[in-house]
């Protein structure tokens, strides 16, 4: 499995990471899937305290307990929840971050987190306070590095300007090219992109699509446009699978350290792994994809 460096850190992650949110709530099955990913060469696991109210972190902790040193572990903070109660509230305060990390460490059965990410963020937050919390956690050895998970250009710019983040997790795919507008800024500051949602809710996979899936459209693609563009992408893919095209497109951007893909069964996991182990896209293929899809911009949070 090829690896890439996350920003200026010494974290080298497999080109595909496992989005652990997708492994489900049945413990044996979830842990087996995480184990299989690791056996296939995936060393980057992404979870969050919010996923199933901490249960996902618990599963990850049990799966990696005896192989912690070979794993790059990423989790997230900022969404305050109460066990057993529905919903959550946004809390990026220093007090909450400093307490939530201890809970995550306990559930993950580890004494450090490789990449701790703010799970969202708004321009109205006390950003300096959140940064102070992450910097203190670094100094105290609870986390090795930190980043943010955000699709808000104004928030991303502030963290680039004020903090030592090494990564920004963003929804990014052939059908959601909005992040490309911030790539030059991140590349200039040696900050990596971690791409989530690379197969656009399954639209960029080989699974048989219901007509209703296409009719709903996707982001700023109307239903009829979506069917047409997917047909075009399949033609560009040729002998490749659509999943290969999708993941390799994200990885064609040098600033992308990894694509984080979900998998709820072994077949999906293998499909993702085969996709990143395939040949990189040619310049011609990349150009055809860009000419066939929308280079949209974020409409809000400018």
pLDDT one-digit tens code per residue, 192-249: 999 999 999 999 998 766 667 777 889 999 988 998 999 999 999 999 999 999 999 9
Residue 22, pLDDT > 90, answer yes
Q: How confident is the model at residue 132 (pLDDT cuts 50, 70, 90)?
A: very high
Mean pLDDT of 121-142: 96
Contact 271, 279 (CB under 8 A): no
- DSSP per residue, 82-147: -TTSS--EE---HHHHHHHHHHHHHHHT-S-EEEEEEE---TTS-HHHHHHHHHHHHHHTSEEEEE
Mean pLDDT of 4-30: 96
- Contacts with 80 (C-beta within 8 Å, 6 or more apart), sequence order: 88, 89, 90, 91, 96, 100
**Superfamily of domain 3-292, CATH level 4:** NADP-dependent oxidoreductase domain (3.20.20.100)
Residue 156, pLDDT > 70, answer yes
High-pLDDT (> 90) share of the chain, %: 86
pLDDT of residue 50: 87
Other Cβ atoms less than 10 A from the Cβ of 203: the count is 22
CA distance 197 to 74: 16
Residue 88, pLDDT > 90, answer no
Over the chain, what is the mean pLDDT?
Answer: 94
Contact 122, 99 (CB under 8 A): no
- Contacts with 228 (C-beta within 8 Å, 6 or more apart), sequence order: none
pTM of this structure? 0.94
- List the single range of 10-14, 76-80, 141-145, 244-248 with lowest mean pLDDT: 76-80
Residue 115, pLDDT > 80, answer yes
Looking up tokens 């929840």 gives 81
- List the single range of 19-28, 95-104, 206-215, 236-245 with lowest mean pLDDT: 206-215
Residue 184, pLDDT > 80, answer yes
pLDDT of residue 210: 66
Any idea which residues carry the catalytic annotation?
51
pLDDT of residue 208: 66
């Amino acid at each position: 499995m090829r690896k890439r460096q996350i920003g200026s850190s010494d974290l080298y992650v497999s080109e595909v990471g496992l989005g652990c949110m997708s492994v489900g709530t049945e413990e044996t099955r979830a842990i087996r899937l995480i184990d299989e990913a690791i056996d296939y060469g995936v060393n980057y696991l992404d979870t969050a305290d919010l996923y199933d109210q901490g249960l996902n972190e618990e599963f990850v902790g049990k799966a990696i307990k005896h192989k912690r040193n070979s794993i790059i572990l990423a989790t997230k903070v900022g969404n305050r929840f109460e066990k057993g109660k529905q919903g959550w509230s946004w809390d990026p305060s220093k007090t909450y971050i400093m307490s939530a990390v201890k809970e995550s460490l306990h559930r993950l059965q580890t004494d450090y987190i490789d990449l701790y990410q703010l799970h969202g963020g708004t321009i109205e937050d006390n950003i300096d306070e959140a940064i102070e919390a992450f910097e203190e956690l670094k100094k105290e050895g609870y986390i090795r590095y930190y980043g943010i998970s955000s699709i808000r250009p104004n928030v991303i710019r502030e963290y680039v300007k004020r903090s030592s983040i090494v990564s920004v997790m963003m929804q990014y795919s052939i059908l959601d090219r909005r992040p490309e507008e911030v790539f030059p800024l991140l590349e200039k500051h040696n900050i990596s992109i971690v791409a989530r949602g690379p197969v656009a809710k399954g639209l960029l996979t080989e699974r048989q699509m219901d007509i209703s899936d296409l009719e709903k459209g996707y982001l700023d693609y109307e239903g009829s446009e979506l069917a047409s563009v997917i047909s075009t992408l399949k033609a560009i893919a040729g002998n490749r699978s659509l999943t290969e095209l999708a993941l390799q497109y994200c990885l064609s951007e040098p600033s992308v350290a990894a694509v984080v893909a979900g998998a709820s069964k072994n077949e999906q996991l293998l499909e993702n792994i085969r996709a990143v182990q395939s040949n990189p896209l040619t310049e011609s293929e990349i150009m055809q994809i860009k000419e066939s899809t929308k280079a949209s911009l974020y409409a809000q949070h400018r």
